[in-house]
Amino acid sequence: MFHWLEKHPFFFAVGVFLVISFAGLVEILPNFAQQSRPVIGTAPYSTLELAGRHVYIKNSCNACHSQLVRPFKSETDRYGHYSLSGEYAYDRPFLWGSKRTGPDLMRVGNYRTTDWHENHMKDPAGVVPGSIMPAYRWMFTNTADIDTAFAEQLTVAQFFSVPYNQPVPMKDGSTKVVKMGGSVAEANALALAEAELIAADMKDQDVKDAVANGQIPEIVALIAYMNSLK
């Protein structure tokens, strides 16, 4: 059989393809529907948080920081409850990372504040002596891309039925509605309102001025995203 295949490239290629696709069919397909269900307490990202997530991705934060707490005592002691599949239901893409040059950030919103992030992103070694993380000072001057975040919200709401403007159940029995603008102007206004709350907790005068003028620096969006990680 093998000698025959080696003389017939077409059937050889078909054979190879069948053999290599087998694992994917068995391993990957069957679990799709089950795992994308959100757990209670998981809400979609707001426009500003999503813009912050884009800043996180743009700077490949995931190259050094994981977002996956494994079920070991040492990890739950350090980072909080181990990760559940449903907590990632709105993560497109997933940001688990593959290397912890820095600590895990899955629940960083539980134990770091806006103020801490502001100082840390300007001068990491000043906040954590010995840190090898580079500073991200350009985030204080670059403007966040709210339009693209809004476009992504619209896309996921349309194609994947992500529940924007709908009540989602919270852990304490209440519900929460994550608002999505009806137009670009409205989306920007929503993001700005959220940014003002963050900027109020910050010290950098340029950032405060920018937000007062209706501009949202990348750092504000990023902090909104980090604060949402719980």
Residue of 180, 181, 178, 223 lying closest to 199 (CA atoms): 223
Binding residues for another protein restricted to 167-206, rule: CB under 8 A: 181-184, 186-187
Give the angle 76-109-77 at the CA atoms, nearest 5°.
15
- 11 is a contact residue toward another protein (CB under 8 A): no
By CB under 8 A, name the one of 11, 40, 138, 209 that touches another protein: 138
By CB under 8 A, name the one of 45, 136, 140, 225 that touches another protein: 136
Distance CA 206, CA 20 (A): 55
Q: Sketch the per residue contact string, 78 through 117, with another protein: x for CB under 8 A, - otherwise.
A: x----xxx-xxxxxxxxxxxxxxxxx--------------
- 20 is a contact residue toward another protein (CB under 8 A): yes
- 126 is a contact residue toward another protein (CB under 8 A): no
Q: Which stretch binds another protein (CB under 8 A): 50-58, 111-119, 169-177, 202-210?
A: 50-58
CB of 187 to another protein, least distance (A): 8
Bridge partners, residue 143, by sequence:
217
Name the DSSP class of 133: P
- 156 is a contact residue toward another protein (CB under 8 A): yes
The residue assigned the tokens 């999503």 is 50
The residue assigned the tokens 């739950």 is 76
Residue of 90, 121, 123, 118 lying closest to 199 (CA atoms): 118
With CB under 8 A as the rule, give the number of residues binding another protein: 93
Residue of 95, 96, 100, 98 lying closest to 132 (CA atoms): 100
CB of 200 to another protein, least distance (A): 27
